[in-house]
Amino acid sequence: MLELIFSLSNLVRRPQFLCSLLAMLVLLTIVQPVGSGATQQVSCAAEQGWFVRVCDPKTKAEGIDIWIGVGGNESTHHFWKRWHHGDPTEFPFPIDLVRAKEVWFKAQTATDGEDVYLGFGFNGRIIKHIDMDDINKPEEYEQSRGDDTDEFDCP
Do 75 and 106 sit in the same domain of this protein? yes
Residue 35: predicted pLDDT: 40
- Domain co-membership, 15 together with 71: no
The answer as to whether 150 is a domain residue is: no
- The answer to the question of residue 8 being in a domain is yes
Say yes or no: 126 and 51 in one domain: yes
Q: DSSP per residue over 76-141, as a string?
A: G-EEEEEEETTS-SEEEPPTTTTT-SEEEEEEEESSTT--EEEEEEETTEEEEEEEE-S--S-EEE
Instruction: Please give the residue range of the domain that contains residue 11.
Output: 1-31
Residues of the chain with pLDDT under 50: 1-9, 11-12, 18, 21-22, 24-46
Question: Are 70 and 124 within one domain?
Answer: yes
Q: Give the chain's domain count.
A: 2
pLDDT at 38: 38
**Do 27 and 43 share a domain, yes or no?**
no
